[in-house]
Structure 1
Amino acid sequence: MPSASNAASASAADTLCDERQLRADLAACYRIFAMLGWTELIYNHITVRVPGPERHFLINPFGLHYTEVTAENLVMIDLQGRIVGRSDWPVNPAGFVLHSAIHEAIPEAHCVMHTHTTAGCAVACSAAGLSRDNFYSAQLHDRVAYHDFEGITVHEEEKPRVVRSIGRAQAVILRNHGLLSWGGTIAQAFAYLWTLQRACEIQVAGAALGPTLPIPEAIQVQASADALQFDPRYGGGQDVFDALRRLVDRSHTGRGD
């Protein structure tokens, strides 16, 4: 029978192995965002929670473009934004306030993504919000939450209001601001964000053509139920994420991250 110390050592080794994998996966996700054009100079964030009781999570170094983020330079921080361990880079307060609110309050939110894409911001600024008249928005029936704009997200007192606004929705429109998603895995969070982003792109493009065809709510409900790419039982978006990762890895060979 293994001793308590041996069991603790094995657990610590497993956690370290998990962290290394998460670092590699998250760095790849930043490269995927860069490939898709979902960058905002050095701003915005993708975070992932590290296994363990401490509620630490990984975030991009503030000052680097997404193409410069690697597994090694990702920064580990706690829920108060304090850097855990050593880092040559600071972190952006607007990143850890918004992301820590979700990581802290929603146990299943292991990954949180936030973007300021043109289409996403345009829909976030629209009084009507997301229109339910295209293939992708129909898949998000009853899956989207809204949070009213309170300025740059650097104030702790906004955190409980963000959490209340989100509820259990994994696709979020931050009004006058941008898009956000969270998931039990990086792949699931990506599946939600990609679907929301595509819905916004089509909505913005379609607006130039005049009135659109409405989709009956009953069909929206069915489309959302049939959208299996979000469901962990059907991979939770992992197949798509893996395909995109292979694509960016082919263009980043030799970087060692």
Structure 2
Amino acid sequence: MARPQEVPKIDCSPEEWEMRVDLAAAFRLVDLYGWSDLLATHLSARVPGPEDHFLINPFGLMFDEITASSLVKVDQEGNILSPTDYTINPAGFVIHGAIHMARPDVACVIHTHTRAGTGVATQKNGLLPITQHAMAVIAQTGYHDYQGIATDVAERESIVRDLGDNNVLILRNHGLLTVGRTAGEAFMWMYRAERACYMQLSFQQSGAELNYIPEDVQRTTIERNKFNNSEKGYRPIGKVEWPALRRKLDRLDPSYKD
């Protein structure tokens, strides 16, 4: 069932307000699931329209404080376009700006530094095809080598190249990044990637012998996931899960809509 149209609480279009509410919901969910890193990571969303503006978190608010109206709108040069008492994280602008400029199909970008995600990103072989969850994520994953704190705009080209047309990017020695055509899609790719990394670390820490999945089964499973998670498949990412997640937030704390 479609949600009723949200009424903007700041001076913006109804379309921008709807995106603000979805992005604020994503921030609250990232915090709820334990993926935040105080002020250190960032989420962003493209503002609907031709201007190539995007929304990002104000640098100084915890994720559980962020609301739709507190999000900061910036242009491709990083100029702040909406009233705020805060700045933005320069590394966030470099990473997110690169993707929004290069991938017009991407509406939302999520970046995290979780224990599981960074634990796998630090491993030479990255995410291993040892679980069903992992193979769903591997089907959509690229890798980006660590180049230091991402404040140099020169890194943008390699970020975009390494992401390609994937929805998941493992930032080596750093963390995870996911993208989507909606906030729900980006969030669900992060959820799946985080779960796959957590499962891998759990197995590695157990010291048990690996039950190896044959390579032909790996290939078949990865290809099936590419189809199943597409618009033609039975579980396009985020379409079913996102309304349920929004309802969960509404029960817990609907203030993200402020």
Q: TM-score, normalised by structure 2?
A: 0.89
- The answer (yes or no) to whether the contact 1:181–1:192 under 8 Å persists in 2 is yes
The residue number in structure 2 matching 1:214 is 212
Q: Aligned residues: percent identity?
A: 40
Cα offsets for 1:163-200 (capped at 9, x unmatched): 11111111110000000011111111112111111110
AA aligned to 2:115 is: T
Superposed displacement of residue 253, structure 1: 4.0
The residue number in structure 2 matching 1:182 is 179
- Cα RMSD for the two superposed structures: 1.7
- The answer (yes or no) to whether the contact 2:67–2:255 under 8 Å persists in 1 is no
Cα offsets for 1:52-72 (capped at 9, x unmatched): 121100111110000000011
AA aligned to 2:95 is: L
Superposed displacement of residue 222, structure 1: 3.2
- The answer (yes or no) to whether the contact 1:111–1:189 under 8 Å persists in 2 is yes
The residue number in structure 2 matching 1:134 is 131
- The answer (yes or no) to whether the contact 1:147–1:172 under 8 Å persists in 2 is yes
Superposed displacement of residue 34, structure 1: 0.9
The residue number in structure 2 matching 1:243 is 244
1:52 aligns with 2:49: yes
AA aligned to 1:240 is: E
Q: 1:253–1:170: structure 2 CA closer, same or farther, 3 Å change rule?
A: closer
Q: 1:59–1:230: structure 2 CA closer, same or farther, 3 Å change rule?
A: farther
- The answer (yes or no) to whether the contact 1:30–1:69 under 8 Å persists in 2 is yes
Cα offsets for 1:133-189 (capped at 9, x unmatched): 012111124321000000110101110011111111111100000000111111111
Superposed displacement of residue 88, structure 1: 1.8
Q: 1:122–1:254: structure 2 CA closer, same or farther, 3 Å change rule?
A: closer
Q: 1:27–1:162: structure 2 CA closer, same or farther, 3 Å change rule?
A: same
Cα offsets for 1:40-83 (capped at 9, x unmatched): 00121111101112110011111000000001100001122110
- The answer (yes or no) to whether the contact 1:120–1:178 under 8 Å persists in 2 is yes
Q: TM-score, normalised by structure 1?
A: 0.89
Off by >3 Å, runs of 4+ in structure 1: 224-230, 232-235, 253-256
The residue number in structure 1 matching 2:3 is none
Question: SS state of the match for residue 27, structure 1?
Answer: helix
Where structure 1 has 5 or more consecutive residues not aligned to the other structure, the ranges are 1-14
Where structure 2 has 5 or more consecutive residues not aligned to the other structure, the ranges are 1-11
Question: SS state of the match for residue 68, structure 2?
Answer: coil
- How many pairs were matched up? 243
AA aligned to 2:94 is: V
1:70 aligns with 2:70: no
How far apart, in 2, do the equivalents of 1:54 and 1:174 lie?
29
- The answer (yes or no) to whether the contact 2:189–2:237 under 8 Å persists in 1 is no
Superposed displacement of residue 201, structure 1: 0.1
